[in-house]
C-alpha cells in the first residue's frame, strides 16, 4: 500500500536493522512541534501546520483505515524544507 500524504514525510523502514519486535527507521531531521519558540523563529505558519497535521491523521484513519495511536507533540516534527516554512503557501 502506498500512502499519498503530500504534507507528511514518513521515514523509510531500515529492514536490515528491523526484527519482529524492533522497528528501525531512517533519521528524519526536524523540529518537534512542541518547541513553539523555535518554530516561530523558523517562520512556520502554526495554524497551517495544525491544519495539515489534522488532515494527515484524518486521511490515515478515513482513507487507509489506520492511524498512529501513540502520537504526542514530541513525536511530530516540522522540517525546514517544507511548504509551510517561511509561509511559502
Residue 19 has pLDDT above 90, yes or no: yes
Residue 66 has pLDDT above 50, yes or no: yes
> What is the SS3 assignment for the chain?
CCCCCCCCCCCCECHHHCECCECCECCCCCEECCCHHHHHHHCCCHHHHHHHHHHHHHHHHHCCCCCCCCCCHHHCEECCCCCCHHHCC
Q: What is the average pLDDT across 81-87?
A: 49
CA distance 58 to 54: 6
Residue 87 has pLDDT above 50, yes or no: no
Percent of the chain scored above 70 by pLDDT? 73
Total-model pTM? 0.66
Amino acid at each position: 500500500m502506498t500512502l499519498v500524504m503530500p504534507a507528511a514525510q514518513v521515514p523509510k523502514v531500515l529492514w536490515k536493522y528491523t526484527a519482529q519486535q524492533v522497528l528501525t527507521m531512517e533519521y528524519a531531521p526536524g523540529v518537534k512541534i512542541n518547541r513553539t519558540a523555535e518554530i516561530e523563529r523558523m517562520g512556520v505558519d502554526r495554524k497551517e501546520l495544525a491544519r495539515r497535521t489534522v488532515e494527515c491523521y484524518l486521511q490515515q484513519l478515513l482513507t487507509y483505515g489506520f492511524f498512529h495511536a501513540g502520537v504526542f507533540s514530541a513525536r511530530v516534527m516540522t522540517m525546514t524544507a517544507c511548504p509551510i516554512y517561511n509561509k511559502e503557501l
